[in-house]
Amino acid sequence: MRAVVIDQFGEPEVLQMRDLPAPSPAHGEVLVHVHSAGVNPVDYKTRRGLLAERFPHTWPCIIGWDVAGVIEAVGSGVTDLRPGMAVYSYARTAVIGRGCYAEQVALPAAIVAPAPTSLNLTAAGGLALAGLTAWQALGDEGLAAQPGETILIQCGAGGVGAYAVQIAVARGLRVIATAGPHNQEFVRSLGASECIDYTAGPFEETVARLLPDGLRLAFDTVGPDAAQRTADMLAPGGRFVSIAKTLDPAAYPHLAAVKYVFCEPNRGQLAELAALADSGRLRVPLSEVLPLAEAARAHALLETRHTRGKVVLAVR
């Protein structure tokens, strides 16, 4: 099979196309013929070696934790998935090395779910990882957001932010999001009530004007400076979650929650995301669809931190 691999950590050029033996599904696994593989910040962090202390790696290393495709074969013990089924997965496993930048991938059946029927498999390849991240950040793992609350979402046009806006709206929240000047209408089209141009001045001033009684719910997808500034402006009893920066809860004794979320595979939540998509309340905004051979270009695009929505590699 064709796969994009790395033999060492480094810049995008370390990503190389290679022919490798196709995997076989072990007990409890399914073999997926990959149609598309989503590209995420964790991929270029893996390529750079930033996850080396957290996860063991095998070499040559195929990266990629986001996939949609069709089941080719099932291993022993798998009874609820069958060949021919269209599926998708947040394909994170305990070891990095047999990921989704490949024509085939063998995955534990427990983290594979039927793909949304309303999406083609190109779009579905960009949903699982970022969609689950937003789902968990807003849910009990993170903010435990409730209908009627107002939330500030940092970077509403990004891969995770675009899903967070839609999921929050579907859950009955009022959404205020930040975005650059060229993404204002896009973020509003996702359902945000207000969109703040973060280049036009301090976002804190606009939030204070929109919420004179104070901000009590915030989701940071950006990182250090934005995370700190967002947490600093929360009113007493507020709740904060980030996927980009860990803050010390002890520094915010007046807040009800200060959390960091690292997305966990969850088949049940994948099914809920698929149902939300099939109901018409969640769409996959695709920024770029590139061939597998252009994985290095995909990484370079993502590392600009200015892509709108998702970058996906088309494999099939």
Residue 305: the pLDDT is 84
Residue 249: the pLDDT is 97
Cβ atoms of 1 and 104 within 8 Å: the answer is yes
User: What is the Cα–Cα distance from 46 to 92, expressed in whole angstroms?
Assistant: 12
In 75-167 the beta strands, taken as DSSP E runs, fall at 86-90, 96-98, 104-108, 112-114, 150-153
Q: Which class would CATH give 2-127+284-314?
A: alpha beta
Residue 298: the pLDDT is 98
7-53 pLDDT, tens digit per residue, is 999 999 999 999 999 999 999 999 999 999 999 999 999 999 999 99
pTM here is 0.96
Whether the predicted pLDDT of 306 surpasses 90: no
Cβ atoms of 211 and 203 within 8 Å: the answer is no
Output the six-digit token pair for 20.
Answer: 């490798």
DSSP-derived secondary structure letter, 200 = S
Q: Which class would CATH give 131-260?
A: alpha beta
Is residue 189 within a helix (H) or strand (E), and if so which, with residue range? helix 184-189
197-226 pLDDT, tens digit per residue, is 999 999 999 999 999 999 999 999 998 899
In which region does residue 310 sit, left (phi positive, over 0), alpha (psi from -120 to 50) or beta (all else)?
A: beta
Nearest CA among 169, 127, 129, 163 for reference residue 151? 169
| Domains in the chain: boundaries | 2-127+284-314, 131-260
165-198 pLDDT, tens digit per residue, is 999 999 999 999 999 999 999 999 999 999 999 9
DSSP-derived secondary structure letter, 196 = E
Cβ atoms of 310 and 126 within 8 Å: the answer is yes
User: pLDDT exceeding 90 applies to what percent of the chain?
Assistant: 98
220-262 pLDDT, tens digit per residue, is 999 889 999 999 999 999 999 999 999 999 999 999 999 999 9
What does the mean pLDDT of the chain come to?
97
User: What is the Cα–Cα distance from 310 to 316, expressed in whole angstroms?
Assistant: 18
Residue 316: the pLDDT is 84
Q: Using only the alpha carbons of the chain, give its radius of gyration.
A: 19
Output the six-digit token pair for 14.
Answer: 């370390």
User: What is the Cα–Cα distance from 186 to 313, expressed in whole angstroms?
Assistant: 23
